């Protein structure tokens, strides 16, 4: 749905405006996300013979080499994962290819599975791995674990803020393939769990891990009953 939004001065209700329909939502503060496209115009890439794809993205192979063998491209201009740490990781792969890895080290590689991300709103949003719908398409049968609660500290603060956590598990292998959180310090928490997920942690590994009490993060290792499958 394309369009914009407006807020009623009388009720405070936010209305999303589309070209064919609109949707009324009761929210405190809206966040408008616009996205971005690679800024490659004016770089002379056409003149150099560098192939461009959709939205002006530079086309590269698995070695980040463009259609011109002497030109490599990494980061946002390739329109893969638009994240600074991803661009740094890709650059390190290119460095090892061109100059060789450090003594005694294997050449670095880049994997795009289980890249953790965060939105630093209040509260934070943190995520790593697949969303439920994507996991169902890839694995077929998945099991969902979900928890929503009020943080212990807010029993004293009086805040109504709540925390949401969700695990997506491939039922057949028991591997945790998606981990999502909305709550305080979600970015910090998800970063740690991303290491375990990249290493192939299963739900049994999560269940066998002792939680740190009282923390919000312990909820990820104490969810026992599935919400749905």
Domains and their CATH numbers in the chain: 1-30 (no CATH), 50-99 (no CATH), 117-221 (3.30.390.30)
The answer to whether residue 213 is catalytic is: yes
Identify the pLDDT of residue 54: 82
- In terms of pTM, does the model score above 0.85? no
pLDDT at 51: 97
Neighbours of 85 (CB within 10 A): 11
Confidence at residue 156, expressed as pLDDT on a 0 to 100 scale: 82
What distance, in Å, lies between the first and last C-alpha atoms of the chain?
30
Summarize pLDDT for 124-168 with one digit per residue, the tens: 999 999 999 999 999 999 999 999 998 888 888 888 899 999 999
pLDDT digits (tens), the chain, 229 positions: 455 666 666 665 666 665 556 556 666 666 666 678 899 999 999 999 999 998 899 999 999 999 999 999 999 999 989 999 999 999 999 999 999 999 999 999 999 999 999 999 989 999 999 999 999 999 999 999 999 998 888 888 888 899 999 999 999 999 999 999 999 999 999 999 999 999 999 999 999 999 999 999 999 999 999 999 8
pLDDT of residue 1: 44
């Amino acid at each position: 749905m394309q369009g914009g939004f407006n807020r009623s001065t009388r009720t405070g209700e936010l209305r999303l405006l589309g070209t064919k329909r609109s949707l009324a939502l009761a929210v405190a503060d809206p966040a408008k996300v616009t996205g971005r496209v690679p800024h490659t115009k004016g770089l002379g890439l056409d003149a150099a013979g560098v192939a461009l794809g959709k939205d002006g993205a530079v086309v590269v192979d698995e070695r980040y080499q463009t259609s011109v063998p002497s030109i490599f491209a990494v980061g946002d201009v390739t329109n893969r994962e638009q994240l600074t740490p991803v661009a740094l990781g890709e650059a390190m792969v290119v460095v090892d290819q061109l100059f060789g890895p450090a003594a005694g080290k294997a050449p670095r590689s880049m994997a795009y599975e289980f890249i953790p991300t965060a939105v630093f709103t209040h509260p934070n949003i943190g995520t790593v791995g697949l969303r439920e719908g994507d996991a169902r398409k890839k694995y077929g049968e998945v099991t969902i674990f979900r928890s929503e609660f009020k943080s212990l500290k807010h029993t004293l603060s009086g805040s109504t803020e709540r925390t949401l956590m969700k695990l997506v598990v491939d039922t057949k292998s028991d591997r945790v393939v998606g981990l999502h959180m909305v709550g305080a310090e979600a970015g910090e928490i998800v970063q740690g769990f991303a290491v375990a997920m990249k290493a192939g942690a299963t739900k049994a590994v999560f269940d066998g891990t002792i939680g740190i009490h009282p923390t919000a993060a312990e909820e990820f290792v104490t969810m026992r009953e599935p919400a749905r499958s």
